[in-house]
Amino acid sequence: MNCDPSLFKELHSLDGAGHTLVINELTGDVGVLKKLTYYNEEVYDELASLQSKHLPKILCHGRFENFCGGEYIVIEEHLSGVTLEEYLEKNKPSKKERMKFFREISDALIELHSLPKPVIHRDIKASNILITGQGSAVLIDFDAAKIAKPDESRDTTLIGTQGYAAPEQYGFGASDERTDIYAFGKLIEKMFPDSARMKKIAKRAAAMDPKFRFQTVKAMKYSVVDLKHSILPPPGFRTGNVGKAVFACVGYAYYLSLLIRVNLDNGPLYINIANRIFITAIFLFELDLFCDWVHIASNLPFVLHPKRAVRILAKIGWTLVIVPVLVLLLAVLMALAMYPFVQQ
């Protein structure tokens, strides 16, 4: 990462752990300078490429001559707030607010795991989640993080927090995305002691054997999705991206034009209605499958596979399976409906 730590002026010491509040005199960015003895430079290389609402921005990192005695330093965005641990204890948030935090923590982990070199946090716990003054959850503290390496048989460094660390962090395997899922499951137990549904999700997430856990955080997030909050806004208008919105408008206009054009000459009214229902069913299925709209199709095998190529092939494959089934079903229903008229 290209940065000049000399641009950062010290404001004051934050605590006894060697953390210092600094400000970039050129840009005005306020950050926290940390001197690290245990770190993974690849992790910070990946984090520096991220712009996320749920992860602190890395302003500068590395070793620099004539700066902090040549120690490895990280300067990350300064965020004010309290830890989730403190927030749960003092504020007693509603279930709705806790669900919001659940979704935001999920999004942070999805971003980490989707990086070109996936980052495994390895220390998910309530004290490593910051609730900002704006009421958003931010995942912090990457001292234990590592890059996921599929060819590893076990972790070379055993690290984690007792009660949250997965078995593989104690030498029983190699950490991967499912390691964070285990800890997240333990965190959910703490966040939702009053919800049988969330306890069930937590139990699956924290299974001792990784193959019995959720395989991706995305699958875990969607397993508890509230459909009332998923329908609106529709795909294309959820991110505020103008290009996606224009593309979505074209798609929706095409769908409406199909509905208008469906009009069988001299055909019974119910046949025309059935055709419109059929077109709508296919459209909604494809919308959910490819845009993760209400997350029903995401329960199909391989749709949320960690590898992008597998996900794409799965979606194409399910399209080739489901659409012909819908066509066949419509044909059978029409044949049954027309049967009395044929007999006459």
Of 172, 192, 224, the domain-final residue? 224
Residues 279 and 304 in one domain: yes
The percentage of the chain sitting over the pLDDT mark of 90, rounded to a whole number, equals 38
Residues 100 and 183 in one domain: yes
Q: How do residues 270-302 score in pLDDT, each as one tens digit?
A: 777 778 888 888 899 899 888 888 878 877 888
Total domain count, the chain: 3
| CATH code where residue 181 lies | 1.10.510.10
Q: How far is CA 297 from CA 4, 49, 225, 291, 303, in A?
A: 48, 31, 13, 10, 8
Residues 71 and 89 in one domain: no
Residues in the chain: 344
Non-local (6+) Cβ contacts of 234 within 8 A are 248, 252, 287, 293
When pLDDT is cut at 50, 70 and 90, the band that residue 13 belongs to is confident
pLDDT on residue 264: 55
Do the Cβ atoms of 7 and 33 come closer than 8 Å?
no
Find, among 252, 336, 344, 261, the residue nearest to 291 by Cα.
252
Residues 218 and 258 in one domain: no
Find, among 258, 239, 236, the residue nearest to 249 by Cα.
236
Task: Classify burial at 59, counting beta carbons within 10 Å of its beta carbon; exposed 0-12, middle 13-18, buried 19 or more.
Answer: buried
Residue 236, in any domain of the structure:
no
Of 22, 43, 77, the domain-final residue? 77
Higher pLDDT residue, 97 or 338? 97
pLDDT on residue 2: 59
Residues 73 and 102 in one domain: no
The percentage of the chain sitting over the pLDDT mark of 70, rounded to a whole number, equals 88
Q: At what angle do helices 269-291 and 242-261 cross, to 10 degrees?
A: 160
Rg (CA), the chain: 25
Query: Which whole number is the average pLDDT over 59-79?
Result: 87
pLDDT on residue 342: 53
Q: How do residues 145-179 score in pLDDT, each as one tens digit?
A: 999 887 765 655 656 677 777 888 776 677 889 99
Residues 69 and 187 in one domain: no
pLDDT at 143 over 90: no
- Rounded CA gap, 78 and 31, in Å? 4
Print the domain residue range for 164.
81-224
Q: Which long-range contacts (CB under 8 A, 24 or more apart) does 194-197 make?
A: 194/95, 195/95, 197/224
Residues 72 and 91 in one domain: no
Of 77, 104, 134, the domain-final residue? 77
pTM of the model: 0.71
Residues 95 and 126 in one domain: yes
